[in-house]
Amino acid sequence: METINQFELSREYVDRLQQAIDEHDKRFIVSTLQGVNPADISTLLLEFSTEDSKYVLDILDNETSAEVINDLDEDIRAKFLKNFESAEIATMLNELDSDDAVDIINELPLKDREEVIASLDNREKADNILDLLRYEEDVAGGLMAKELIKVNENWSVKQCIEEIRRQAENVEKIYSVYVVSDTNKLIGRVSLKRIILADDHIQVKELYEDDVIAVETYMDEVDVAEIMRKYDLESVPVVNVQGKLMGRITIDDIVDVITELAEEERQMMAGISEDVEEDDSVWMLTRARLPWLIIGMFGGLLGAQFIGVFEKDILLVPAMAFFIPLITATGGNVGIQSSSIVLQSLASKSVFDNSFVKRMTKVILVALLNGIVIAGIVMGMNLILGQDLTLALVVSIALFGVVLIASLMGTITPLILDRFGINPAIASGPFITTANDLLGLLVYFSVAHLLYSNL
């Protein structure tokens, strides 16, 4: 088992490392960072200037430096690599799997990409990178690594073991040994255990299992993630349309995909239209947040117009104004709950075995039950607190209607957006909240107008 030093980032160590950098104390830098996980070193180097960070990486071995660069956030890495020569970048990429190398190359300017690829000493790695550059980043071909272990079905176990030893030099983690035909078509997989325990003269075709799950190069990354989650896979082979083995996708790449998707949906639900982080520029943060804030502002102005239309009713019964926050908050909460459940179900397509009618029936039944309970509680509380009976009826009936409408809005809107190929997460934040605020106010004052006008 590989032992990793337990690294604790402290202000004292940062100051001491800064001193070592200033004094060019290479011995201290190497000795204190030896065995530290590259991810921890990446976090550490964020505390230093680009020049000082580069000095540290130049001292460390190429494999560690490459992993540190690979662990950096994309935006930070793109800025950081501007201080490296093409040959230096190529040296680090030689230490990474082809899929990670391609991710880094895609972040470089076009001229630098060509120089880096031309500077690669490992021509097999260069060919793999060029092959992967053909694919879009969000499909299986763009996620896969070319490094894997494969054997021919006609090989003996002895040949197979010798080939595994040779190929394993380029593969960091061995999850499966894939079996291919003479035309490189994927036909199955075989465990290392079966290979090791078998006699040397036995052919691979007698050992392999043909129930291998594979994905095609053009499959969307979301679908790949769902397949690996569903079947609990640590890696999955990638084939082209002819069924030929092209590469493999490992679980660490899928974790990155899931994390990015979750972060994107979280930001969209919060009304942030771009992928931003706290250390981005003021302009980028403002540009990402402002669109939905403006939409919310216009929603507020429309809400004020609704209130203005029913100004006479409020003047007649001023206590109605006290319940406006209750109406809008309830509608917003119900809408968010409903849309969140729909988003979860959209992430698992198997849930959609139910028909649309059956789904809507369930939504309506749940909304009816919730609406009756909430309306009953509010009615009771108003009567206990001595509110006017008519006003209590208005608030209770309005809340019942708001719960129904908000539930339907929160359910239908994400489904409609998904049908038209729009990310349904945008419906789960300010959009649903603003829409339900307006509808809630309309329902509330309409009920009030009808009841009080008949008195």
Give residue-wise pLDDT tens across range 67-85: 999 988 887 888 888 888 9
In this predicted structure, the answer to whether residue 158 has a pLDDT above a threshold of 80 is: yes
Copy the structure tokens of residue 153: 């079905």
Domain 149-259's class? alpha beta
Mean pLDDT estimate for the chain: 83
Give the span between the Cα atoms of 221 and 216, in whole angstroms: 11
CATH architecture of 11-137: Alpha Horseshoe (1.25)
Copy the structure tokens of residue 368: 């009816």
Give the span between the Cα atoms of 422 and 219, in whole angstroms: 18
In this structure, the strands spanning 215-216 and 235-239 are parallel
Q: Would you place residue 21 in the very low, low, confident or very high pLDDT band (cuts 50, 70, 90)?
A: very high
Q: Tell me: the pLDDT tens digits for 227-268?
A: 998 888 889 999 999 999 999 999 888 888 887 776 666 666
Phi, psi of 213 (to 5 degrees): -95, 125
What is the reported pLDDT for 1? 41
What is the reported pLDDT for 266? 64
What is the reported pLDDT for 3? 44
In this predicted structure, the answer to whether residue 376 has a pLDDT above a threshold of 60 is: yes
Give residue limits of the domains in the chain. Answer: 11-137, 149-259, 282-453
SS3 for the chain, per residue?
CCCCECCCCCHHHHHHHHHHHHCCCHHHHHHHHCCECHHHHHHHHCCCCHHHHHHHHHHCCHHHHHHHHHHCCHHHHHHHHHHCCHHHHHHHHCCCCHHHHHHHHHCCCHHHHHHHHHHCCCHHHHHHHHHHCCCCCCEHHHHCECCCEEEECCCEHHHHHHHHHHHHHHCCCCCCEEEECCCCEEEEEECHHHHHHCCCCCEHHHCCECCCCCEECCCEHHHHHHHHHHCCCCEEEEECCCCEEEEEEEHHHHHHHHHHHHHHHHHHHCCCCCCCCCCCCHHHHHHHHHHHHHHHHHHHHHHHHHHHHCHHHHHHCHHHHHHHHHHHHHHHHHHHHHHHHHHHHHCCHHHHHCCHHHHHHHHHHHHHHHHHHHHHHHHHHHHHCCCCHHHHHHHHHHHHHHHHHHHHHHHHHHHHHHHCCCCHHHHHCHHHHHHHHHHHHHHHHHHHHHHHHCC
Closest CA to 443 of 323, 336, 362: 323
Domain 282-453's class? mainly alpha
Q: Would you place residue 339 in the very low, low, confident or very high pLDDT band (cuts 50, 70, 90)?
A: confident
Q: How many CB atoms lie within 10 A of CB 396?
A: 23
Torsion of CA 302, 304, 308, 309, to 10 degrees: 30
Copy the structure tokens of residue 296: 């919310």
Q: Tell me: the pLDDT tens digits for 192-215?
A: 889 988 998 899 999 999 989 999
pTM: 0.65
Q: What is the CA radius of gyration of the chain?
A: 30
